[in-house]
Structure 1
Amino acid sequence: MYDTEIPSRHDGLLHITERTSWEDALGTGWYRTSTRGVSLDEQGFIHCSLPHQLCAVAEYVYGDADDLVVLVIDSERLGAPVEYEAPEPGAERYPHIYGPVPTSAVSKVVPVERDAEGHMLLPE
């Protein structure tokens, strides 16, 4: 279930993660990682991005990580609420999922590759 393109803004929420976190979720049926090294239980929500936000988030949080995937999440298949919140007053708002993500709500899994200089290659 790996794809090569990230869909448009209307097709889903995006969440970048380590491939092993996604594969662990496939075993249980539930994805529960908020962000790198932080669980849903610890954070209270799962960090997501819209397509135009993904590159900055990916480089900031996972800039030195390997074997990453982008999960495309269909918000209509979630059983948890999605809130759009800013990390600080006046900043851009990001989607946060307030509960676990059923693996059935992930419509695509896009592998993240790097160029020869080590920069992430993410579809725009």
Structure 2
Amino acid sequence: MRIFHLATDDAWTSAVAAGTYTVSTLGLDVSEVGFIHCSQAEQVAGVHERFYRDVAEPLRLLTIDTDLLTSPWQLDPVEGEALPFPHIYGPLNVDAVVSAEPFRASAAT
């Protein structure tokens, strides 16, 4: 399965150098939250609108192949949401990211 995560350009660049990505969501690490927030394709635009709309820094849309993850992941129901959200329960190994394209909000709508 392919799942998605919005990352700041700086956080992704640092992750590539380190070999793992540990940002759960803006300003929070996986060690603080317990998982990395991800989205299904249909959820990316809504996540951007709710949480990243005011971020001035360039963003990247990480496309993650769940078959390549070294940390466990699962789809979790979220109250008020029609689709469950994917969460990665540990660091994201960067070699599971099959694409890290610059994100443009207009492309997600």
**TM-score, reference length from structure 1:** 0.80
Percent identity between the two aligned chains:
34
Deviations 1:63-86 (A, max 9, x none): 101301100011111011111112
How many residues are treated as equivalent by the alignment? 108
What is the rounded CA distance, in whole Å, between the counterparts of 1:56 and 1:90 in structure 2? 11
Q: 1:38 aligns with which of 19, 23, 28?
A: 28
- TM-aligned CA distance change 1:27 to 1:60, over 3 Å: same
Q: Aligned with 2:61: secondary structure?
A: strand
**TM-score, reference length from structure 2:** 0.91
Q: Tell me how large the CA RMSD over aligned residues is.
A: 1.6
Larger gyration radius, structure 1 or structure 2: 1
Identify the residue that residue 73 of structure 1 maps to in structure 2: 64
2:44–2:108 Cα contact (<8 Å) kept: no
Structure 1: which 5+ runs fail to align? 1-9, 114-119
Structure 2: which 5+ runs fail to align? none
2:19–2:93 Cα contact (<8 Å) kept: yes
